[in-house]
Amino acid sequence: MTPRGKQTAAVGFSHSACQSHEALFLWSKFPTSANVAIVDVFRNRTFRLEQLMKLFWVGVCIFAGVASAQADDNACADLNGAYEHTVNTGRYQIVSTVTGPGQDSGKLRSWVYFYDRIIYIREPDSLWLSYRRGTLDRISESGRPVFQGCSRLGTETINGTITMVFQADWQRNGARAKGKLWFSKGTGKLVQTERFFTAVGESSDYFGFLGRSLVDRYTYDRGPPPPLEAYNAYVPPTAQPDLGKAK
């Protein structure tokens, strides 16, 4: 069994034990004359076996909870680190494609080009739009990590890049999704994500995608951005390079 498997088994045992501790408490309720007492040398108090058993199982349950949370944190540490590293990279691009049931499946949803402190966004049959870019971290607006409940699935090669593959619960910008993610073992950056949306708020950027999926493909250092200088400026799409095609 791997070290992680041993940890999981230990946590599982502790959780099961916590559920059955009431039976052990009943077992400890034998006649008063048979109770075993010990003296607390620090307070000079006498504790019955029943009280000691309760204190013992409280400690076990607390330890199990901490160990379970720590196991989840460890599983998500690499993934949240890759996310934070990616979203604050100086220059990269995301090409988003709709997947799953529906007539839009397989269609391009958007190009998003991150270039230094500016974000450039374009959807099919529309114009380029630019925004100021801020810094993001691994903590979402809810105060919890962007990725939780992570598990590693293995490794996979995508376009010559060896990636680590994870599945995890994702949340950000008023939306939640079940995700599958690939990030490079060499650079520590995301290569591809697939998200199936399970909750979407009306103010979310993903409004209308409840029950649908998006695949995001990441590329880096793709050359100059669209020639926009003004904040929220538009230019005709015909004047822009086709950023959706890989070089």
Q: What is the pLDDT of residue 235?
A: 45
Query: Are 39 and 140 within one domain?
Result: no
Contact status, residue 49 vs residue 31, Cβ threshold 8 Å? no
Flag whether 206 is in a domain: yes
**Share of residues in the chain with pLDDT > 90 (%):** 26
Q: Are residues 118 and 34 in the same domain?
A: no
Question: What local confidence, expressed as pLDDT, does residue 64 receive?
Answer: 38
Side chain identity, residue 210: L
Which one has a higher pLDDT value, 149 or 242?
A: 149
pLDDT at 245: 39
Residue 146 and residue 226 in one domain: yes
Same domain? For 114 and 69 the reply is no
Whether 187 and 143 map to the same domain: the answer is: yes
Residue 216 lies in a domain: yes
Main-chain dihedrals φ then ψ at residue 37, nearest 5 degrees: -120, 145
What's the domain count of the chain? 2
Q: How far does CA 81 lie from the centroid of its chain?
A: 10
Tell me: do 60 and 112 sit in the same domain.
Answer: no
In a domain, 83, yes or no: no
Q: Domain range holding 35?
A: 3-75
14 in a structural domain:
yes
Same domain, 107 and 35: no
Write the DSSP assignment of the chain as a string of letters: --HHHHHHHHHHHHHHHHHHHHHHHHHT---GGG--EEEETTTTEEEEHHHHHHHHHHHHHHHHHHHHHHHHHHHHHHHHHHHHHHHT-SEEEEEEEEESSSTTTT-EEEEEEEETTEEEEE-TTS--EEEE-----SB-TTSSBSEEEEEEEEEEEETTEEEEEEEEEEEETTEEEEEEEEEETTT--EEEEEEEEEEE-TTSTTTT-TT-EEEEEEEE--S---S--STT----GGGS--TTS--
211 and 110 in a single domain? The answer is yes
Task: Report which of residues 161 and 85 the model is more confident about.
Answer: 161
pLDDT, average across residues 10-31 = 40
Identify the pLDDT of residue 165.
Answer: 95
Asked if residue 247 belongs to a domain, the reply is no
Asked if residue 105 belongs to a domain, the reply is yes
| pLDDT bracket for residue 213 (50, 70, 90) | very high
Is residue 137 domain-shared with residue 158, that is, in the same domain? yes
Q: Final residue of a domain: which of 21, 51, 75?
A: 75
The mean pLDDT of 15-41, rounded to a whole number, is: 41
Lowest pLDDT segment from 35-44, 75-84, 171-180: 35-44
Label residue 16 by pLDDT band (50, 70, 90): very low
Q: What is the pLDDT of residue 20?
A: 42
Percent of the chain with pLDDT over 70: 60
Per-residue confidence at 137, pLDDT binned at 50, 70, 90?
confident
Q: Within a domain: residue 191?
A: yes
- Confidence at 29, pLDDT banded by 50, 70, 90: very low
> Which among 48, 75, 102 is the end of a domain?
75
Q: Is the pLDDT of residue 11 over 70?
A: no
